[in-house]
Amino acid sequence: MGNRTSTIDFNTRLRKKAQSVNYVLQRLLDFQQINSELKEALKYTLGAPGKRVRAVLVLWCCELVSGRVNRNAEIASAAIEMVHTYSLIHDDLPAMDNDDLRRGLPTCHRAFDEATAILTGDALLTLAFEILAKEIDEPTVAIKLIGQLAHDAGASGMIAGQMADLKAEESAGTKQMLEYIHINKTAKMFRCAAAIGAICGGAPEKQFDCLCEYGLKIGLAFQITDDILDVSAPSEQLGKTAGKDVKAAKCTYPAVVGLEKARELQEKLTSEAVAALKPFGKKADTLRQFAMTLLERMK
Ligand code: GRG
């Protein structure tokens, strides 16, 4: 009972934090002078009920190292959510995963059209860097944040993972290939969230490294959970089309190592992530609970 109560309490905290990200996103968007059709598509995709887990991770990492969430962290959390949302819009396009459902709503190219979806993704990606350049109060911090986000979302991170993922559909997957895809496609964006939160909080190098390790491990576990949910949960629960990985012969953990091993690995990575927080002591309990909550997520 105690555990269940604390899980419910933690989910409420998580939702509140996600809500604070929504306010920042909305405010930033309201201030932009944008062509009305594009703005409609931006509001539609950013306003859809995403979990905001990367953005919340930014805020909690900043809070852990500095004792509070500052304005730089709020801006950086909005920036990573914009980049993440762009990646989902483009991932759903017919040339990629060709999906109709995202965050419980028709995908951007279904609600609008393909060209609008491409441009909305492009606009989110560029807006993320624009707000970092303009809104962060200290140029050296802005440069670090821009560099980190560009690296982890770019050709040495998420894009590389997506490219390998698409290519892997043509061949039998290996464990090595799988790890490469998942680390790059998904885990680096979680590492990035932890890293930029740490940068905003002014973390010393050792704390920065611990948080990066934590972020990478929960990110990898997150993608394994995603793979497992794809074969075990219905579309209505996920808010996106279930069972797509098998259909597209995707390189996933359940497909390559089996469901049981995938579950073991998911738990092992979460324990390792929690262990990486040891130097912070009890102060890192929020991040410990966050890792456990992601492990148990149902969507
Ligand atoms: C540049 C044309 C072009 C395409 C880029 C990089 C890319 C396409 C796609 C990224 C790959 C991708 C979508 C990885 C999946 C990561 C993942 C598990 C997404 C789901 O994240 P959640 O569950 O989603 O946090 P919500 O909706 O809650 O935000």
Distance between Cα 236 and ligand 1 center (Å) = 18
Q: Which residue CA neighbors atom 27 of ligand 1 most closely?
A: 50
* pLDDT at position 286: 97
Distance between Cα 129 and ligand 1 center (Å) = 18
Pick from 17, 156, 186, 293 the residue to mutate for probing ligand 1's pocket: most ligand atoms within 8 Å of its CB: 186
Look at residues 293, 158, 151 and name the one whose alpha carbon lies nearest to residue 221.
Answer: 293
Per residue, the 3-state secondary structure of 2-34, as one string, reads HHHHHHHHHHHHHHHHHHHHHHHHHHHHHCCCC
pTM above 0.85, yes or no: yes
Q: Which atom of ligand 1 lies at the shortest distance from residue 95's CA?
A: 2
Task: Please report, for the chain, the start and end positions of each structural domain, with discontinuous segments joined by +.
Answer: 2-295
Q: Which residue CA neighbors atom 2 of ligand 1 most closely?
A: 90
Pick from 83, 87, 99, 120 the residue to mutate for probing ligand 1's pocket: most ligand atoms within 8 Å of its CB: 87
Per-residue pLDDT for the chain (299 aa), expressed as one digit of tens each? 456 667 779 999 999 999 999 999 999 999 888 889 999 999 999 999 999 999 999 999 999 999 999 999 999 999 999 999 999 999 999 999 999 999 999 999 999 999 999 999 999 999 999 999 999 999 999 999 999 999 999 999 999 999 999 988 867 678 899 999 999 999 999 999 999 999 999 999 999 999 999 999 999 999 999 999 999 888 998 999 998 888 778 888 898 899 999 999 999 999 999 999 999 999 999 999 999 999 998 88
Q: Which residue CA neighbors atom 26 of ligand 1 most closely?
A: 50
41-65 residues labelled b (16+ CB within 10 A) or e (exposed): bbbbbbebebebbbbbbbbbbbbbb
**CA distances for 286 relative to 57, 204, 269, 281, 290, angstroms:** 10, 20, 17, 11, 6
217: three-class secondary structure by DSSP: helix
**CA distances for 288 relative to 29, 60, 76, 271, 282, angstroms:** 32, 11, 22, 9, 9
Amino acid at 61: C
Round to whole Å and give the CA distance between 107 and 90: 10
Q: Which CATH architecture has domain 2-295?
A: Orthogonal Bundle (1.10)
> Using the 8-state DSSP alphabet, how is residue 106 labeled?
E
Look at residues 194, 202, 208, 222 and name the one whose alpha carbon lies nearest to residue 61.
Answer: 194
